[in-house]
Amino acid sequence: MDTLLEIEDLTVRFDTDEGTLTAVEGVSLSIGKGETLGLVGESGCGKSVTAMSILRLIPSPPGRIESGRIHFHDRDMLTIPDQDLREIRGKSISIIFQEPMTALSPLKRVGHQLIEAIQLHEDVPKSDAARRAVEWLGKVGIPDPAQRMQSYPFQLSGGMRQRVMIAMALMLEPELIIADEPTTALDVTVQAQVLELIKAMKRDETSLLLITHDMGVIWEMCERVTVMYASQVVETAALRDLFARPRHPYTEALIRSIPKLTGARGELETIDGQVPSPLAYPGGCRFRDRCCKAFERCELEMPPLYEADRVAARCFLSDPNQSVPPI
């Protein structure tokens, strides 16, 4: 598979009143052409910051991208001139945000915002842009699209607003769509509609980076999954492989703690303890205090990301040379 986007060794820190906060550290991941990659993890693990870095959307200050490369085709997104970046944003790479109310302008009509986006990237007359906008509103299932062009975002329901966002993200036929918790703010029946829509609208050659904390959504949408914990990638694997045979103890515990609709009821499996503070990560493995498989080496050294065949795990148990059987 041809790689479309490759993030290598990305580190992002924020300067805060309490000190330097490590949001993303040494993150590497890649997305193939036409592939859907899920990026999963709990709040504060750095998944959104990773995604925002792709389009250089990290506010600076307080944020700074300390190191790393983000290759999109043959270009490094972190060093290209602003003019080129503006051309890529919205056209080649588009974003669907979690909260469409904050991503859409409250003061402009929906139609105006769609037409503006088209005309920004393509030299077409306004009437053509308007026709295309109406067509896309219809495609994403908005009733009376021509009338809805005249609506302000606040006049639409949450599900409808998210459809407008999706129309905006897809109408320029981007190569990569970044969807940051696109359905988290929606009710489950509306979430089902929106997920179906994203699946139906995404062209075969379009890549999708789907960020979510919901393993169910990951299961339904993705081909490959990258799991983040405490600012780092802890595991990457193909979807079914990840759920059938998680390599990292965090992934395993996370999968087990999801409440399910079938099977035994009652006590849920938990992960004891808490995520360490990003203001002062301890040395060694960041998951070791909560890990039931931790052994001495986990405290002494930070495990590297052991990679082979597009599969990776940041755990000494995946070290081919780890001879001492732990526990």
Partner 1 sequence: MSNAVATSPALLKITDLKTWFPIRRGVFSRTVAHVRAVDGVSLEIREGETLGLVGESGCGKTTLARSILGLDPIQSGSIAFEGQALHTMRSEDLRRMRRDLQVIFQDPFSSLNPRMTVIDIITEALIVHGLIGNADRETAAIELLNDVGLGHDSLHRYPHEFSGGQRQRIGVARAIALKPKLILCDEAVSALDVSVQAQVVNLLMDLREKYNLAYLFISHDLSVVRHVCDRIAVMYLGELVEIGPAEAIISAPRHPYTRALVSAIPQVGVEGKGRIVLTGDVPSPASPPPGCRFHTRCAHALDACRQSEQALKDVARAHQVACMRVDEL
Binding site for partner 1 (CB under 8 A): 42-43, 157-160, 187-193, 195-196, 213-220, 243, 253-255, 257-262, 265-272, 274
Measured between alpha carbons, how far is 279 from 282 in angstroms, rounded to an integer?
Answer: 10
- When the beta carbons of 1 and 192 are compared against partner 1, the nearer one is 192
Cα diameter, the chain: 70
- When the beta carbons of 258 and 280 are compared against partner 1, the nearer one is 258
**What is the sign of the dihedral through the CA atoms of 224, 161, 115 and 141?**
positive
Q: Phi/psi class of residue 229: alpha, beta or left (left: φ > 0; alpha: ψ in -120 to 50)?
A: beta
Measured between alpha carbons, how far is 49 from 208 in angstroms, rounded to an integer?
Answer: 17
Tokens of 13: 């820190």
**Are 48 and 59 in contact, with CB atoms under 8 Å apart?**
no
CB of 15 to partner 1, least distance (A): 20
- When the beta carbons of 152 and 172 are compared against partner 1, the nearer one is 152
CB of 158 to partner 1, least distance (A): 8
- When the beta carbons of 53 and 212 are compared against partner 1, the nearer one is 212
CB of 192 to partner 1, least distance (A): 4
- When the beta carbons of 188 and 308 are compared against partner 1, the nearer one is 188
**Are 174 and 5 in contact, with CB atoms under 8 Å apart?**
no
CB of 120 to partner 1, least distance (A): 30
DSSP of 263-309, one letter per residue? S--SS-----S-PPPTTSPPSS-TTGGG-TT--HHHHHSPPP-EEET
CB of 69 to partner 1, least distance (A): 30
**Are 229 and 250 in contact, with CB atoms under 8 Å apart?**
yes
**What is the sign of the dihedral through the CA atoms of 261, 264, 266 and 269?**
negative
- When the beta carbons of 75 and 199 are compared against partner 1, the nearer one is 199
CB of 253 to partner 1, least distance (A): 7
